[in-house]
Structure 1
Amino acid sequence: MTEIDVQVDLFHPADRVWHALTDRALLARWFTEVEPMAGGRDRLLLFTAGLPGFDAAVDAEATDRREPELIALRCLEGGRRSRLTCAVAPTAEGCRLSVREVLEHGGWAEEQREGREESYRQALTGRLPAILDWLAFRQVDLRRGEAGMTAEMPVTEGVDDEPAPARRRWPLLVGGLTGVVLVAGAAVWAVLPADPEPVAGPAPAPSPTATATPSRTPQPTPSVRPTRSASPSPSRPSRTPSATPSATPSRTPSSGAPSAPALTARYETVSTRLLGYTGEVVVDNPGGAAVNGWKVVVTLAEGGSLTDVSGAEWRQEGQVVTFTGPSVPAGRSRTFTFAVRDVDPLTRAPEDCALGDAPCAGL
């Protein structure tokens, strides 16, 4: 039995994830467009034709629905029948979404199965978190003192008795804040130290000039230079051949070391979202022999954490994440991706990436 299983940890509550799974407008934003079909409200047509791993649109019918925990679909696509299950389980930091598709009739080629799995993975680790972040942003509690959350700015009703005092307080408040800013700026400007002038540089200039004049004057002594040049002359020919053979063999082994198979790594940010991004690292083996095992160390920005990894084993200690993987055949490569949740919306890549002592290209 052929199956596809993809999991992702999300920093959002289960009800928000359920909303993104079942709302047709939101589903079109992170996966594909959906239209209801005749024959029941639980039948949907998913326009998946053109996505990697899909041959045609999918005729899906909901067979199990338990909000906000599970939804199961019986899917028909190009003569194949499969069962697609989306399960949402709460976690300490949000929830875990597990998507599992089991083929019940027909078959997938290996390349098609891999493309289908990659379509699910990219949607779940890239576009879905972006939609969830957008939903969370809309639900920010702007009132802060009232229960519940709102996506609209609070509007106060006008009262005919007291419009003027309320409006007069705004110019006073703005004027007061402007005064505070100006005073604070003047205070900071006043205590800033003046730029030091580079007066120490010219001072040493005259002293070398004065000392250089007497030191150069006694040097031209004709009796000293001929004596010294004559005595080392017989020894110099003997040193010249001895240095040449010693340098040649010492450089031979050092120049031969890079010819051994050496791995290289290159980094690329493949997708971004409001509070995070997805990075990809390709480990290349340009040598003529396989290299057993590799280790890539990635340093995330402060506050960043991994939510999903594909293609490598990993462990995170603080902001440092260590990725390891199997051997890389000669002339081949290994690729792994990782999804990062970051509290800074401007962060779009890790701070550092290195394979051994060599930095990753592209970062």
Structure 2
Amino acid sequence: MIEIATEVDLSHPPARIWRALTEQALLAKWFAGSESVGDRTLLRTAGLPGYDADTEVEVVELRAPERLVLRCREADRSTRLACDLTPIGHGSRLSVREVLEEGDWDADRRAEQHERAVTGRLPAILDWLAFQEVDLRRAEGGLTAELPVIPLAPPRGRTARRRALLLAGVLAVLGLAAGATVWATRPAPTTPAAQPASTPSAPLATSAASSGSPRATPSRPTPSATRRSVAPTPTASASPTRTPSARPPAAAPLAASYETVSDRVFGYRGQVVVSNPGPAARPDWTVTVTLGDDATVGSVNGAEATQNGPVVTFTGAAVPAGGSATIRFDVRDPDLTATKPEGCAVDGAACAGL
């Protein structure tokens, strides 16, 4: 039994992806045109890479919006295609698996067609569909009420003249009243206050000392005994001792394990889980995977990848303390027996599982 597996993380909800998988108009935009033939559907796959003719599709299992299983017949070939949708933190994970049940196929070309459709055209259609679901219309509401406008027409005839004369009389009376009020409330002129006459000061009478009165001899103060203050003896202060600062704990080495998620003719899908047992997050980690001769890495989830010869280097965000990071990658290998890489290491330490 030969199986082709493709998995991709999409930043869209499962309901939207389900529409793209099951509605004929949307399916034709990213995979192939289709039409209903009785209780079955005919996909126009003739001419697509890995397909030799149109494909007749029969629904085997339908559980919206989680799982869709189809039985596909293409000329003398029969396959079983399963699409599974799983919600994840930032969207959904789509897993597509096709198993050959009868006949033969070019699995490598067919896998390439699936990968291009699922990782290239499908995300573009989902973005377009998300844009179509946004309501960009604006309500154009008019006025909800109209206020009546009353024109102010000028008075005419004798009535107008009487009103003008009355208004002039009122203004004149108001002017006179205001003038009288100002006159009555004006401040009175102030006269300078008379300064009091200066009175000559009487000379101070000095009493002459009589010649017969004895002079008082001033007594000298007796010096008091002075006390000698004893200076306190200085006490030696203890010099402060320095407490050595605690050093941060040494970072624990990362550990990694490898697992082959699925394999197929001319390739497989691998997974590396990087674990951080330490008490602090670990940035700047590196995972290296050594592939076989002429093997190349395809789509990668969970890290950035660069390939230099057979060695593929993965780097990514910091691994949280006590947490892990998962890397999944597709490998195309011309060796029919290859189901895993030849080597795997994280920061130089070998991965478990190989």
TM-score tier (shorter): 0.3 to 0.5
Structure with the largest fraction of helix: 1
- Relative to the length of structure 1, the TM-score reads 0.44
